[in-house]
Structure 1
Amino acid sequence: MRTLVRPAVLRTTRGRLVYWSLLVVVLLLFTIAFIIPLYWMVTGGMKSSPEVARNPPTYIPEEWHPGNYSDAWDQLELARYFGNTVMLIGGAWLLGLAVQLPAAYALSKLRPRFGNVVLGLMLITLMVPATALLIPTYLTVTDVPIFGANLINSPAAVWLPAAANAFNIYVLKNFFDQIPDELLDAARIDGAGAFTTMWRITLPLSRPIIAVVSILSITALWRDFLWPLVVLPDPAKQPITVYLQRIADSTSLNMLIAGMVLASIPLVVIFLIFQRHILSGLTAGSLKG
């Protein structure tokens, strides 16, 4: 097996020393690069407002104010906007799975006549910049074809575009392709239809990749700012990312930073809890016999 460092070099004392020294240095640099912004944000929420605006900045707060977080939660009414965010993300996630799983299963196992054409058209949308699709998508939600409904200020304006995710469908299809057709043929011989086969055979085997798609969708929706800002002009219906930007000019800097920290906590918790599922889903490419 070819590697960057020859095995013969790694067997020498000098080779092992250089290898592990470089590895430790690289890992340390990457760790510092990720931790410093988090440290700066968390400590910024504990400073007084004049200290946050001071130049040059203080790296360690002169006076610690951990109560800024509870004040930000109460004064900024973050609970209300957390609720808006959870409603938008939860609906988009459930609707996305309801659309993407059957679509990927149909393209992978049912193999419709023009399935490759449909897949190709979906993949083309991945090559188009998101900003280029902003106006067409906005015109669509303001006048939904066939129904003629206006979805502005409605959660459906966020749910429907999020459900039409070509990348998730492509990832799910690739995973479904790895499931042996013999399993599905056996289920069909027993009288199972297409929906039953998908529900009872395919989906239980696909839990790792479903977890990955779900986590990626949730994090993308939680961080999204532009689209909710455009389709939810009513401040009472906006998610927390849009709300914090809206009040930035009228809120003290330390309170605003504290609110941003609180808004980031759910994503960090989700990653820490489900990191095993992310890694296992990304590396899952086949089934063991």
Structure 2
Amino acid sequence: MSDTRTLVNPAQLNRTLYRAALILVVVAFTLAFLGPLYLLVTGGLKGTTESIQTPPTFYPHHIEASNYSDAWSRLNIAHLLLNTLWYAFGALAFQLVLDVAAAYSLSKLRPALGNAILGLMLATLMIPAMVLVVPQYLTVLDLPLIHQNLLNSPWAIWLPSVANAFNIYLLKRFFDSVPQELLDSAAIDGAGPLRTLLSIVLPMSRPIIGVVSIFALVNVWKDFLWPLLAEPDPTRQTLNAGIYSLSLGVPENVLIAASAISAVPTVIFFLIFQRSIMSGLTAGSLKG
């Protein structure tokens, strides 16, 4: 039977349809992710009446760029930004020390019931965060054993963020890939567990430590409910909670501009470190 000739090669047609479908999917997801950011930024450029108009306008008919400067000054965003940086980097410091120690112990020191402890840690990831708000608040209100009230102090933000089961799991998974021969060689040379961790394991773990650091900073930055409860004083709150607390009497368009300002650092942070995030998440083996 002779081959049937057509104007369009079926294989070429399939490739064209595949590329067209791929482009449509990529465009749809791009619009889904960038659309809210576009509406947020342009909403801060609208006048008061236009910002509450129904249905909303797709673009500002009369641009009022002064909304951003008004939001910066009226909501004291510079001070709230410093608060957020203080809480975020403090939480990062505690997480790097305690989560790295916990992951290294579970991975290389192999304590008794280590697998059971890890399983219980991972089980906490199945609990919705909202369920933990009340017991967590009661804990910082009257810290067990020492009976200290941690409200309106940085410890109310730092301590709950320390035991991060997801970060411990990421670190342990990476530590598991470190060859045991390196640790045995260090032990033969007289290095103890702490010296081995500081001199051998941590220098090899920069990718995953970078990922954990990014997650720690972003988690504190984007959190809203807990800083609002743990820091009742608006002057001590994080950026998102402080904007909400100081929003009384502030026009809608100025609040939208303030929300856009608060989103800028995390977007820039992700764009700068996206390669580090992906490389750290996929780092689980060592090249010889």
Q: TM-score, length-normalised on structure 1?
A: 0.93
Offset of residue 11 of structure 1: 9.0
Hey, what does 2:4 align to over in structure 1? Answer: none
Offset of residue 117 of structure 1: 2.0
5+ residue gaps, structure 1, are 1-9
**Residue identity matched to 1:84:** N
Hey, what does 2:97 align to over in structure 1? Answer: 98
Question: Hey, which bits of structure 1, 4+ residues long, moved more than 4 A?
Answer: none
Hey, what does 2:85 align to over in structure 1? Answer: 86
Question: What pairs with 1:199-214 in structure 2 (closer than 5 Å)?
Answer: 199-214=198-213
Hey, what does 1:15 align to over in structure 2? Answer: 14
Please list the CA deviations of residues 130-163 of structure 1 after superposition, one character each: whole Å capped at 9, or x if unmatched.
2222222222212222222111111101100100
Offset of residue 112 of structure 1: 0.9
Hey, what does 1:167 align to over in structure 2? Answer: 166
**Residue identity matched to 1:287:** L
Please list the CA deviations of residues 171-196 of structure 1 after superposition, one character each: whole Å capped at 9, or x if unmatched.
11011101110111111111111111
Alignment RMSD (CA, Å): 1.5
Hey, what does 2:6 align to over in structure 1? Answer: none
**Residue identity matched to 2:280:** G
User: Aligned residues: percent identity?
Assistant: 51
Hey, what does 2:5 align to over in structure 1? Answer: none
Query: How many residues are paired up?
Result: 280
Q: Is the 8 A contact 2:75 2:247 kept in 1?
A: no
**Residue identity matched to 1:197:** T
Q: Secondary structure at the match of 1:119?
A: helix
CA distance in 2 between counterparts of 1:71 and 1:39 reads 20
5+ residue gaps, structure 2, are 1-8
Please list the CA deviations of residues 264-285 of structure 1 after superposition, one character each: whole Å capped at 9, or x if unmatched.
1110111011001001011112
CA distance in 2 between counterparts of 1:225 and 1:249 reads 17
Offset of residue 207 of structure 1: 1.0
Hey, what does 1:217 align to over in structure 2? Answer: 216
Q: Is the 8 A contact 2:102 2:168 kept in 1?
A: yes
Please list the CA deviations of residues 67-94 of structure 1 after superposition, one character each: whole Å capped at 9, or x if unmatched.
2212211222110111111111111111
CA distance in 2 between counterparts of 1:279 and 1:217 reads 16
CA distance in 2 between counterparts of 1:144 and 1:247 reads 29
**Residue identity matched to 1:180:** P
Q: Are 1:176 and 2:198 counterparts?
A: no
CA distance in 2 between counterparts of 1:131 and 1:68 reads 34
CA distance in 1 between counterparts of 2:75 and 2:134 reads 32
